[in-house]
């Protein structure tokens, strides 16, 4: 049983029309419900966020207060996209990450983050490992993970991180209109910045040729679609050595498409002798990512001599 409103998922979440109690909603009252449901939900307030990764309909709740910065993490399968997000969450959770500029201010996807990070934590009886494969199945477009930071102790900023399966991007790189790449297209359309992951393990492994080709294809597609939005090229698992020739081939391919992209090398393995327990390059990349601002429209210079906004435009000087 579900509310007939197309964007409303009552009784799982709050009423999409803003009623605090379901009984006040005309649409909800129009559906026939089992008696148990009526008595249960009339005196309870349902929270608008479930805590899991946000779906397309759920983001309205987060975007309502201000426009979030959306970061799309791109890369082929098994490149360490989810691990990157999980590592960030763990670092933030230990307070080990940021400068005084950014302070954690909340998240509506805490269980979602925890689900991603769980496998990397030490739990009694089970050693940590890297997050399992992000599934392509499931009806949700993609999971968006939310974080809010307080910048300079005054301004609040919302961030959404898209955690999508690598297969989507591989399909999208090959065929922009591929039916199973809808999620990738959504991210490309809506993201404010991109992280392109280059998997050092794959680029030095037995299938390095096809890994390089796939990455070049993806860079080309991303370059054609990014519309000036910033891209960071991130070498994941960078504790594994990639030959300089291979590195150059990837770098040149990416740079030819995305000339101003920034480069980062990250690894969960800290450099030898580094005991801070923050891996390698992870905090730099996070700091860089938090500083990304949405491209804004700039008004053309008016050329007018007056300060009266009514006469700013349209005057001939």
Partner 1 sequence: MMKTTTESMLLVGESGVGKTHYGAQLLKRLLNSGGQFRMNGAATNLEPFEATMECLNDGRSAAHTPTSTYVDSEWPIVGPGGHTFTLVWPDYGGEQVKTFLNSRRVPSAWRRRVTTTSAWVLMLRLHQLRVSDDLLSKPLASLADGEADDTTSDKLLQLSDQARMIELLQILLYLRGDGVGETTNLPQLCLLLSCWDELGENEPPAIMLMRQLPLLSEFIASNWSHPIILGLSALERPLDKTVPDEEYITRGPEQFGYIVLPDGKATPDLTFPLTVLLESPEE
Q: Which of 74, 113, 159, 235 binds partner 1 (CB under 8 A)?
A: 113
Nearest distance, CB of residue 43 and partner 1, angstroms: 5
Instruction: Identify the DSSP state of 126.
Output: B
> How far separated are the first and last CA of the chain, in Å rounded?
65
Q: Is 54 in the site for partner 1 (CB under 8 A)?
A: no
Nearest distance, CB of residue 104 and partner 1, angstroms: 4
Q: Is 214 in the site for partner 1 (CB under 8 A)?
A: no
CB of 117 or CB of 144, closer to partner 1: 117
Nearest distance, CB of residue 273 and partner 1, angstroms: 13
Nearest distance, CB of residue 277 and partner 1, angstroms: 4
What is d(CA 164, CA 53) in angstroms, rounded to the nearest whole number?
11
Q: Which of 5, 19, 21, 176 binds partner 1 (CB under 8 A)?
A: 21
Nearest distance, CB of residue 116 and partner 1, angstroms: 12
Nearest to 169 by CA among 222, 206, 130: 222
Q: Is 94 in the site for partner 1 (CB under 8 A)?
A: yes
CA angle 179, 185, 188 (to 5 degrees): 165
At residue 285, φ and ψ (nearest 5 deg) are -65, -40
What is d(CA 150, CA 143) in angstroms, rounded to the nearest whole number?
23
What is d(CA 150, CA 152) in angstroms, rounded to the nearest whole number?
7
Buried b or exposed e, range 250-277, using 16+ CB within 10 angstroms = bbebbeebbeebeebbbbbebeeeeeee
CB of 1 or CB of 299, closer to partner 1: 1
Q: Is 201 in the site for partner 1 (CB under 8 A)?
A: no
Return residues touching partner 1 (CB under 8 A).
20-21, 41, 43-48, 50-51, 65, 87, 90-96, 103-108, 110-111, 113-115, 117-118, 120-124, 127-130, 148-150, 153, 156, 268-270, 277-279, 282
């Amino acid at each position: 049983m579900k509310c007939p409103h197309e964007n409303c998922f009552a009784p799982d979440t709050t009423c999409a029309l803003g009623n605090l109690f379901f009984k006040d909603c005309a649409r909800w009252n129009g559906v026939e419900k089992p008696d148990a449901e009526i008595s249960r939900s009339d005196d309870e307030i349902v929270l608008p966020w479930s805590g899991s990764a946000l779906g397309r309909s759920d983001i309205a709740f987060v975007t309502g207060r201000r426009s979030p910065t959306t970061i799309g993490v791109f890369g082929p399968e098994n490149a360490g996209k989810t691990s990157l997000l999980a590592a960030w969450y763990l670092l933030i959770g230990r307070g080990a990450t940021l400068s005084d500029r950014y302070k954690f201010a909340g998240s509506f996807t805490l269980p979602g983050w925890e689900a991603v990070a769980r496998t990397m934590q030490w739990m009694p009886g089970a050693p940590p490992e890297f997050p399992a494969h992000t599934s392509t199945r499931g009806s949700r477009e993609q999971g968006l993970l939310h974080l809010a930071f307080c910048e300079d102790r005054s301004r609040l900023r919302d961030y959404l991180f898209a955690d999508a399966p690598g297969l989507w991007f591989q399909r999208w790189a090959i065929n922009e209109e591929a039916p199973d790449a809808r999620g990738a297209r959504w991210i490309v359309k809506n993201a404010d910045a991109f992280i392109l992951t280059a998997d050092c393990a794959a680029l030095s492994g037995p299938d390095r040729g096809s890994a390089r080709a796939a990455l070049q294809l993806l860079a080309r597609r991303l370059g054609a679609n990014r519309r000036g939005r910033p891209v960071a090229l991130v070498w994941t698992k960078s504790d594994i050595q990639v030959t300089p020739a291979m590195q150059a081939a990837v770098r040149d391919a990416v740079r030819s498409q995305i000339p101003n992209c920034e480069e980062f090398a990250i690894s969960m393995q800290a450099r030898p002798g580094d005991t801070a327990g923050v891996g390698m390059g992870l905090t730099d990349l996070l700091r860089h990512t938090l500083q990304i601002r949405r491209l804004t429209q700039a008004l053309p210079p008016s050329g007018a001599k007056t300060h009266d906004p009514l006469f700013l435009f349209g005057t001939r000087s």
